[in-house]
């Protein structure tokens, strides 16, 4: 092959090796993600054999992060985020500060300066939302109060890291950055762009994030669901899937370019906004396969960055980093939860969730190296800590689970009573939010069920297709005596009678139709003009399936078209028989005369 196939080769190698090693990990009773990490090490530049394109893999991994965070947003409502703010905001900020101080202490023990310590500490303080979600999903904890708190905690961490990424270049020289002329020029440029003032940089950053949040919260719910509803009305499944991905990736990229927030955060807010719409469950289902596929690439790309030689050259430093991630952060997280007077069980879940690092850590330490704030071995240590902590994170959940059991046996009163008041208040708030969401979902199902009960003809199509019909229908009403259709008019659509009654006047007779019936289909099927008048005899509400939507929907559902065809033929035959009978009667009357 003479053309470039680097992208295809990278995807193929990632998927093939990830599937093989993921399966082997599962057979060894290890989480599949351990296999994905090993696959990344195997095709990384630090091991012999096939070497995949690391830059491409990294960009594909970003796609995984975007789609996964979009999925999180779809299932994590803004109300959920506000409900856990009392613990997530002070908890995340306090944990970042304390973990960063531990990182500064660890760096100083190696003889590194303050700047290196801050970069190391920040890199180790922020956990990976991708890893956490995988862990919570495997244990069915995503929708529990502890799971909601932990996810909210990490969202606040992500917001804090956005601020850190913007401030780091402006502070590089102050913190002792020695990255050479290019890095210094970049730092100077960053400072100049920010107005040469740290305070102005901070204000500018907060203003950008604030504007983005306001647009996402207030404008997003009006625009994004409207766009998806318009697309859903086309009836094209592939166009709907494409639109969901376009919104997720487009908003993630646009928010990063315009407002300076991360891809992950932009995608999360896009999902958060769409999660409040009636199309959220469909958007989640359509994007799920790609989420799973590209999240695998994320873990493979992490493995590709890892240099195994660091384990041999500096094992004590690796152990120090790993201890800070898995023990230091976990203890801090547990301590903060207990200080805020929430249950021990919630604190242990948060502790296990924090016992790893991921995507933001790589970005922070890479930026630190670029600005000369931290030596390159610091990046190797952070990557080693990430790989090992991600691999061992299931063990953290296992240990905290056993600790919960031990506490319930040893001190049942403490395990059951400590933090119960705040826990119950949080459960009540989350329960209220969940009840509202379930009520909306029930209303949706009731509406779909009512559609089938009113129009038995639609039992031929599934629930999802009936929901699509609800999007396609155009409401219309008529008063008694109003002419709904006129003989000779062009066919504009098929009418379903939701309430009221009409008379179809054809061939000198009036045929009554009540709620649950439909009319106007014959002209659509034949392509001819209307052959009857339809008059409302009561106050009527109609659901109109317009000509274009009728043709598309019937094409995708031949069983429904067959039923409509059959009924239309029966009506046509009845009309012809009546007309023939009327003609015969008229002829007989004429002969008698």
268-279, pLDDT tens digit by residue? 778 877 776 767
**Considering only 20-24, 175-179, 237-241, 273-277, which range has the smallest mean pLDDT?**
175-179
The pLDDT, as a whole number, for residue 365 is 86
User: How many Cβ atoms from other residues are within 10 Å of residue 375's Cβ?
Assistant: 14
In the structure, what pLDDT confidence band is assigned to residue 92 with cuts at 50, 70 and 90? very high
Which among 35, 34, 43 has a CA at the least distance from the CA of 14?
A: 43
- Residue 381 to residues 28, 57, 150, 342, 392, Cα–Cα distance (Å): 27, 21, 26, 34, 16
Can you read off the two tokens belonging to residue 192?
């100049």
3-state secondary structure of 194: coil
Alpha-carbon span 434 to 415, nearest angstrom? 26
Q: What are phi and psi of 47, to 5 degrees?
A: -125, 150
Q: What is the CATH number of domain 6-431?
A: 1.20.1530.20
Instruction: Give the integer Cα–Cα distance in Å for 104 and 118.
Output: 6
Helix (H) or strand (E) holding 210: helix 198-214
pLDDT band at 589 (very low <50, low <70, confident <90, very high): very low
Closest CA to 275 of 83, 442, 437, 89: 437
Please state the separation of Cα 328 from the chain's center in Å. 31
**Domain 457-586 in the same topology as domain 6-431:** no
Return the residue matching tokens 């093939």: 16
Contact 84, 426 (CB under 8 A): yes
Mean pLDDT computed over 350-373: 85
- pLDDT at 4 (0 to 100): 66
Alpha-carbon gap, residue 88 to 429, rounded angstroms: 15
Q: Please choose, from the candidates 159, 562, 93, 560, the residue with its C-alpha nearest in 3D space to the C-alpha of residue 336.
A: 93
- The values of phi and psi at residue 266, to 5°, are -60, -45
**532, 506 contact by CB (below 8 A):** yes
Mean pLDDT of 225-244: 80
pLDDT digits over 106-123, tens only? 999 999 988 899 999 999
Which tens digit of pLDDT belongs to each residue from 367-391? 888 888 888 888 889 988 988 898 8
More confident residue, 464 or 560: 560
pLDDT higher than threshold 50 for residue 226? yes
For 313-342, give the DSSP string. Answer: H-HHHHHHHHHIIIIIHHHHHHHHHHHTT-
Considering the four listed CATH numbers 3.50.50.60, 3.40.50.11140, 1.10.10.60, 2.60.120.10, the one that applies to the domain covering 457-586 is 2.60.120.10
Could you report the per-residue pLDDT of 273-327, keeping only the tens digit for each? Answer: 777 676 777 777 777 777 778 778 877 887 887 788 888 888 999 999 999 999 9
Q: Is 50 left (phi over 0), alpha (psi -120 to 50) or beta?
A: beta
| Position 190 pLDDT exceeds 50 | no
Q: What's the chain's average pLDDT?
A: 80
For residue 126, give Cα distances in angstroms to 95, 155, 156. 9, 10, 10
Q: Give the per-residue pLDDT at 444.
A: 66
Give the residue extent of every domain in the chain.
6-431, 457-586
Please report the pLDDT score of residue 407 as a whole number: 87
Burial class of residue 333, CB neighbours in 10 A (0-12, 13-18, 19+):
buried
pLDDT at 186: 44
Quote the tokens at residue 300. Answer: 């493979």
Q: For residue 584, what pLDDT band results from cuts at 50, 70 and 90?
A: low
Task: Find the Cα–Cα–Cα–Cα dihedral 36, 37, 39, 40, rounded to 10°.
Answer: 120
Confidence of residue 3 (pLDDT cuts 50, 70, 90): low
Question: Angle at the Cα of 538 (from 536 to 539), degrees rounded to 5?
Answer: 95
DSSP-assigned beta bridge partners for residue 485: 534
Q: Extract the tokens encoding 195.
A: 């107005």
User: What percent of the chain has pLDDT above 70?
Assistant: 88
- pLDDT tens digits, one per residue of 517-537: 888 888 888 778 888 899 999
Choice among 186-200, 357-371, 476-490, 501-515 with the minimum mean pLDDT: 186-200
Q: What angle do CA 330, 336, 339 make, to 5 degrees?
A: 140
**Amino acid 182: pLDDT:** 40
pLDDT of 254-270, one tens digit each?
888 887 777 777 887 78
- Round to whole Å and give the CA distance between 415 and 34: 33
d(CA 108, CA 576): 96
Q: Count other Cβ atoms within 10 Å, centred on residue 285.
A: 13
pLDDT at 99 over 90: yes
Give the pLDDT band (50/70/90) at residue 548.
confident
Question: What is the C-alpha to C-alpha distance for residues 527 and 544, in angstroms, rounded to an integer?
Answer: 17
d(CA 269, CA 73): 6
Nearest to 91 by CA among 264, 318, 346: 346
pLDDT at 465 over 70: yes
Would you say the pTM of this structure is higher than 0.75?
A: no
C-alpha to C-alpha distance for 91 and 85, rounded to whole angstroms: 9
Cα separation, 191 vs 197, in Å, equals 7
What is the crossing angle of helices 145-171 and 180-193, to 10°?
A: 110
| Confidence band for 178, pLDDT divided at 50, 70 and 90 | low
The 8 Å CB, 24+ separation contacts for 465-470 are 465/556, 465/557, 467/282, 468/232, 468/235, 468/553, 469/545, 469/553
**Helix, strand, coil fractions of the chain, as percent rounded to 5:** 75, 5, 20
Distance CA 460, CA 466 (A): 10
pLDDT digits (tens, 9 = 90+) for 323-354: 999 999 999 999 999 999 999 989 999 999 99
Inter-residue contact 440 to 278 (CB < 8 Å): yes
Q: Which residue has the tokens 């031929």?
A: 460
Q: For residue 502, list its beta bridge partners.
A: 513, 536
Using pLDDT thresholds of 50, 70 and 90, give the confidence band for residue 26. confident
pLDDT confidence of 40, banded at 50, 70, 90? confident
The residue among 98 and 260 whose pLDDT is bigger is 98
Class of residue 56 by CB neighbours under 10 A (exposed 0-12, middle 13-18, buried 19+): middle
505 touches 447 (CB < 8 A): no
- pLDDT confidence band for 197 (50 / 70 / 90): low
């Amino acid at each position: 092959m003479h053309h470039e196939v680097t992208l295809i080769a990278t995807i193929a190698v990632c998927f093939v090796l990830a599937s093989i090693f993921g399966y082997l990990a599962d057979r060894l009773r290890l989480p599949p993600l351990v296999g994905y990490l090993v696959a990344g090490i195997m095709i990384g530049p630090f091991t012999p054999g096939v070497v995949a394109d690391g830059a491409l893999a990294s960009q594909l991994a970003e796609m995984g992060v975007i789609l996964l965070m979009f999925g999180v947003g779809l299932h994590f409502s803004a109300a959920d985020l506000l409900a856990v703010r009392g613990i997530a905001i002070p908890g995340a900020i306090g944990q970042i500060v304390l973990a960063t101080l531990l990182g500064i202490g660890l760096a100083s023990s190696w003889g590194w300066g303050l700047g290196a310590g801050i970069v190391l500490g920040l890199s180790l303080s922020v956990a990976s939302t991708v890893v956490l979600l995988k862990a919570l999903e495997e244990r069915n904890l995503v929708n529990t109060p502890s799971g909601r708190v932990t996810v909210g905690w990490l969202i606040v961490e992500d917001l804090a890291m956005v601020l850190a990424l913007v401030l780091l270049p402006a502070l590089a020289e102050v913190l002792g950055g020695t990255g050479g002329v290019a890095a210094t020029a970049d730092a100077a440029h960053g400072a100049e762009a920010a107005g040469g003032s740290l305070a102005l940089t901070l204000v500018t950053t907060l203003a950008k994030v604030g504007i983005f949040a306001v647009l996402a919260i207030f404008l997003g719910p009006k625009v994004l669901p409207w766009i998806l509803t318009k697309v859903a009305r086309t009836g094209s499944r592939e166009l709907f899937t494409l639109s969901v991905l376009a919104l997720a990736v487009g908003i993630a990229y646009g928010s990063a370019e315009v407002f300076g927030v991360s891809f992950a955060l932009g995608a999360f807010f896009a999902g958060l906004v769409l999660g409040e719409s009636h199309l959220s469950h469909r958007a989640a289902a359509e994007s799920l396969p790609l989420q799973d596929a590209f999240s695998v690439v994320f873990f493979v790309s992490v493995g590709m960055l890892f240099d195994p030689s660091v384990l041999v050259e500096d094992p004590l430093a690796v152990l120090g980093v790993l201890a800070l991630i898995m023990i230091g952060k976990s203890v801090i997280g547990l301590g903060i939860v207990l200080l805020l007077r929430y249950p021990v069980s919630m604190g242990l879940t948060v502790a296990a969730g924090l016992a790893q690092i991921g995507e933001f850590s790589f970005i922070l330490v890479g930026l630190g190296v670029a600005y000369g704030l931290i030596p390159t071995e610091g990046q190797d240590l952070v990557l080693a800590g990430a790989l090992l902590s991600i691999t061992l994170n299931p063990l953290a959940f296992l240990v905290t689970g056993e600790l919960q059991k031990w506490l319930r046996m040893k001190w049942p009163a403490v395990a059951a009573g400590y933090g119960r008041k705040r826990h119950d208040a949080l459960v009540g708030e989350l329960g209220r939010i969940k009840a509202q969401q379930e009520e909306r979902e029930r209303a949706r199902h009731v509406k779909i069920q009512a559609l089938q009960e009113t129009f038995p003809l639609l039992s031929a199509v599934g629930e999802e297709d009936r929901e699509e019909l609800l999007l396609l229908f155009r409401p219309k009403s008529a008063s008694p005596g109003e002419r709904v259709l006129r003989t000779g008019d062009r066919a504009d659509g098929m009418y379903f009678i939701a309430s009221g009654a009409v008379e179809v006047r054809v061939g000198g007779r009036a045929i009554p139709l009540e709620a649950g019936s439909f009319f106007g289909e014959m002209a659509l099927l034949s392509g001819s003009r209307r052959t009857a008048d339809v008059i409302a005899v009561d106050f009527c509400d109609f659901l109109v399936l317009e000509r274009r939507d009728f043709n598309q929907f019937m094409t995708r559902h031949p069983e429904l078209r067959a039923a409509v065809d059959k009924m239309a033929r029966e009506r046509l035959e009845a009309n012809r028989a009546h007309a023939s009978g009327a003609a015969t009667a008229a002829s007989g009357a004429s002969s008698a005369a």
